[in-house]
């Protein structure tokens, strides 16, 4: 099973169109037998070639084996996802240090590996979550997100998202600056 989260630079119609291009492109380059790093490399070559608008995309792409719990991933400058285990400990997935998509051609991407044990929760998010700003100028931040997920890790995934969306709205006092995307994946028993 493929798991992907991405965030494009910019806002409005140009960003929406660029994301549509990214979505279509990823459906093309993610082929059976091709790993996440190669898929990101192929996408980057295409996005970097004809990018007069100088837009870029951060992206995390993983292949998840539902039977074994193995996760093979590559990260193109996206926020590093983390895993919340049954005992509520957190481990961040290595960021790999690879660059955004669409910046330059000839870039190689690297793969990391992790294993989700039964009951583990994988949390992927865009910077709109951690960079949500309160009226006093403080950020929601990675620590607050991690604590939130650790506290609610046993809840149904829809309930986790609903509570997080409400907490973010309350934190920002209804003044949302950036788009917010969260992908949650729990390995079943």
pLDDT in tens, the chain (189 residues): 999 999 988 888 888 888 888 888 898 888 777 899 999 999 999 999 977 778 899 999 999 999 999 999 999 999 999 999 999 999 999 887 789 999 999 999 999 999 999 999 999 999 999 999 999 999 999 999 999 999 999 999 999 999 999 999 999 987 766 788 999 999 987
Give the closest residue to 131 by CA, choosing from 88, 91, 181: 181
Residue 147: which H helix or E strand, with range? helix 141-152
At the fourth CATH level, the homologous superfamily of domain 2-186 is PPM-type phosphatase domain (3.60.40.10)
Domain parsing of the chain, residue ranges: 2-186
**Residues recorded for the chain:** 189
pLDDT for res 43: 94
pLDDT for res 139: 96
DSSP state letters, 12-72: HHHHHHHHHHHHHHHHHH--TT--HHHHHHHHHHHHHHT-TT---EEEEEEEE-TTT-EEE
Task: List 64's β-bridge partners, or say none.
Answer: 71
Contact between residue 37 and residue 110 where contact means Cβ atoms under 8 Å apart: yes
Give the closest residue to 43 by CA, choosing from 72, 76, 12: 76
Q: What's this model's pTM, rounded to 2 decimal places?
A: 0.92
Give the closest residue to 161 by CA, choosing from 141, 180, 182, 142: 182
Number of Cβ atoms within 10 Å of the Cβ of 117: 10
How many Å apart are CA 61 and CA 30, to the nearest integer?
10
């Amino acid at each position: 099973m493929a798991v992907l989260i991405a965030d494009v630079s910019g806002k409005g119609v140009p960003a929406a169109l660029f994301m549509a291009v990214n979505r279509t492109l990823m459906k093309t380059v993610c082929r059976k037998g091709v790993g996440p790093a190669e898929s990101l490399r192929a996408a980057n070559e295409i996005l970097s070639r004809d990018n007069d608008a100088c837009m870029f995309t951060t992206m995390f792409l993983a292949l998840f084996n539902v039977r074994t719990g193995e996760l093979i991933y590559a990260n193109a400058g996206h926020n590093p996802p983390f895993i919340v285990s049954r005992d509520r400990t957190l481990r961040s997935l290595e960021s790999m240090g690879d660059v955004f998509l669409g910046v330059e051609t000839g870039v190689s991407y690297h793969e990391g590996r992790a294993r989700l044990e039964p009951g583990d929760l994988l949390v992927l998010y865009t910077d709109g979550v951690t960079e949500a700003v309160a009226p006093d100028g403080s950020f929601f931040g990675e620590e607050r997100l991690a604590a939130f997920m650790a506290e609610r890790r046993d809840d149904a995934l829809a309930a986790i998202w609903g509570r997080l969306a409400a907490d973010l709205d309350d934190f920002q006092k209804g003044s949302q600056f950036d788009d917010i995307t969260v992908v949650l994946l729990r390995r079943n028993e």
